[in-house]
């Protein structure tokens, strides 16, 4: 059984959906599944752009065979060697032993590390001077290192103006019939997962993303074909995604508002966060988000850092240290190079000193271009009506209005 779909007159999507895996990289929950995308160019010479995860290998190989109709495969292009895209690469290379493999030196090295076979006589080394003619179609290659691995390239097909963007602009979530973003309610179905994908996979490499976007801006792009999720073909959709990526890569918030992250073992710290949010709402703050770090994976919580300009961190002292979930969340923020946020802190303790507030302040102080708005608020066991939450709400609201 094959299930390819036409992207343009001569370019086909030959990927498939993964309904089996519950976590991406065995780390990030993917309740909506994920697609693995590969592409086939049908011309005087034929080419496959990237392969797929081994979980859909049989379907992928059948798609390639069906589109070749007994012809040889001339080229295999490697944009990214991560196993969710190279898991079927060796099977493809062995099935079509005459196909040349276009890859960066780093990708060639990784192929040897993963497969432990020599493909050296088949490699064509890709760089930004290389051009490959398939007949009517011509391929060029753009280096995009660390978006999000060092070997990554984008492939640009000049005739139909298609950008094969590796993991860039990708999203979690399976495809639902159509492969095109404009055939679905993208903002509803995919945008939250796209943000989650960027936050957990790419966010650490904002500077490299901006460099890649600069190269893309010089191209006439009619289609954006990522390795995960739907294809963009409307100019307004492409412009929107590039704009979002530019914001995320620059750590420019999508909106001026507040995300309140809390880790609360008995509900008292959660209550303080909820009351604070209510007081902020009374002061006119809109579009806030309360995030319970203890009830979800921190990889699902982290994308909310991208969205809003201000962050509240609320957690308890545990074992004379910081609540371990909040500790892990803040370590992830540091690892992903969170920048350009205003931060307020609430620490709670019953019998120990306010270690949580102190540790959260110390950790947040190391984040680049971030501001701590006030000394950590100390809650003793449960919040009270002593006015401290009112005062913190006023400080946050005033800072939100400062640039209006």
pLDDT in tens, the chain (404 residues): 889 999 999 999 999 999 999 999 999 999 999 999 999 999 999 999 999 999 999 999 999 999 999 999 999 999 999 999 999 999 999 999 999 999 999 999 999 999 999 999 999 999 999 999 999 999 999 999 999 999 999 999 999 999 999 999 999 999 999 999 999 999 999 999 999 999 999 999 999 999 999 999 999 999 999 999 999 999 999 999 999 999 999 999 999 999 999 999 999 999 999 999 999 999 999 999 999 999 989 999 999 999 999 999 999 999 989 999 999 999 999 999 999 999 999 999 988 778 999 999 999 999 999 999 999 999 999 899 999 999 999 999 999 998 66
pLDDT at 372: 97
So what's the pLDDT on residue 403? 67
Give the integer Cα–Cα distance in Å for 147 and 115: 23
Distances (CA, A) of 89 to 76, 114, 256: 9, 10, 44
Collect all residues with Cβ–Cβ distance below 8 Å to 292 and sequence separation of at least 6: 262, 263, 264, 270
Question: What is the pTM assigned to this prediction?
Answer: 0.94
CA gap 151, 291 in Å, rounded: 35
How far, in Å, CA of 387 to CA of 393, rounded?
10
Parallel, antiparallel or unpaired: strands 308-318 and 11-13: unpaired
Residue environment code for 372-386, b if the CB has 16+ CB neighbours within 10 A, otherwise e: bbeebbbbeeebeee
CB 122 within 8 A of CB 94: no
Please check whether residue 83 is in contact with residue 45, taking contact to mean a CB–CB distance below 8 angstroms: no
pLDDT reported for residue 1: 80
Burial of 159 (0-12, 13-18, 19+ CB in 10 A): middle
> Is the N-terminal amide bond of 24 cis, ω within 30° of 0?
no
Tell me the pLDDT tens digit for each residue of 131-176.
999 999 999 999 999 999 999 999 999 999 999 999 999 999 999 9
Residues with Cβ within 8 Å of 97's Cβ and at least 6 positions away in sequence, in order, are none
Q: List the domains of the chain with CATH numbers.
A: 5-250 (3.60.15.10), 258-397 (3.40.50.360)
Backbone angles phi, psi at 294, to 5 degrees: -85, -15
**Across 198-320, where does the E strand assignment appear?**
223-225, 255-263, 289-292, 308-318
* Residue 72 · residue 97 · CB < 8 Å: no
How far apart are the C-alpha atoms of 286 and 258, rounded to whole Å?
Answer: 8
């Amino acid at each position: 059984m094959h299930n390819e779909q036409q992207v343009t007159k001569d370019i086909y999507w030959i990927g498939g959906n993964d309904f089996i895996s519950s976590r991406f990289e065995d780390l990030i929950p993917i309740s909506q599944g994920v697609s693995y995308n590969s592409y086939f160019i049908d011309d005087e010479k034929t080419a496959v752009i990237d392969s797929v995860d081994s979980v859909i290998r049989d379907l992928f190989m059948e798609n390639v065979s069906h589109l070749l109709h007994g012809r040889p495969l001339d080229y295999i292009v490697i944009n990214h060697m991560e196993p969710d895209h190279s898991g079927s690469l060796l099977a493809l290379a062995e099935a079509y032993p005459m196909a040349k493999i276009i890859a960066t030196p780093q990708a060639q090295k990784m192929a040897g590390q993963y497969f432990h076979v020599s493909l050296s006589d088949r490699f064509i080394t890709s760089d930004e001077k290389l051009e490959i003619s398939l007949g009517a179609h011509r391929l060029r290659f753009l280096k995009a290192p660390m978006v999000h691995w060092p070997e990554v390239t984008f492939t640009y097909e000049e005739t139909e103006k298609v950008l094969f963007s590796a993991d860039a602009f990708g999203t979690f979530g399976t495809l639902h019939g159509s492969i095109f973003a404009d055939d679905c309610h993208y903002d509803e179905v995919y945008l939250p997962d796209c943000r989650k994908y960027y936050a957990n996979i790419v966010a650490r490499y904002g500077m490299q993303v901006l460099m890649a976007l600069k190269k893309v801006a010089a191209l006439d792009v009619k289609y954006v074909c990522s390795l995960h999720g739907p294809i963009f073909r409307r100019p307004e959709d492409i412009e929107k995604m590039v704009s979002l990526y530019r914001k995320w890569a620059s750590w420019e918030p999508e909106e001026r508002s507040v995300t309140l992250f809390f880790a609360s073992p008995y509900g008292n710290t959660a209550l303080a966060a909820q009351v604070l949010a209510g007081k902020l709402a009374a002061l006119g703050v809109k579009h806030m988000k309360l995030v319970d770090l203890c009830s979800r994976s921190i990889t699902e919580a982290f994308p909310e850092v991208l969205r809003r300009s201000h962050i509240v961190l609320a957690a308890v002292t545990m074992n004379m240290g910081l609540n371990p979930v909040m500790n892990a969340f803040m370590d992830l923020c540091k690892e992903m190079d969170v920048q350009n946020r205003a931060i307020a802190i609430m620490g709670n303790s019953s019998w120990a000193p306010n270690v949580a507030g102190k540790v959260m302040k110390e950790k947040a102080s190391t984040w680049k271009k971030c501001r701590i708005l006030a000394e950590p608020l100390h809650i003793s066991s449960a919040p009270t009506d002593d006015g401290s939450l009112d005062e913190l709400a006023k400080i946050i609201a005033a800072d939100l209005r400062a640039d209006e």
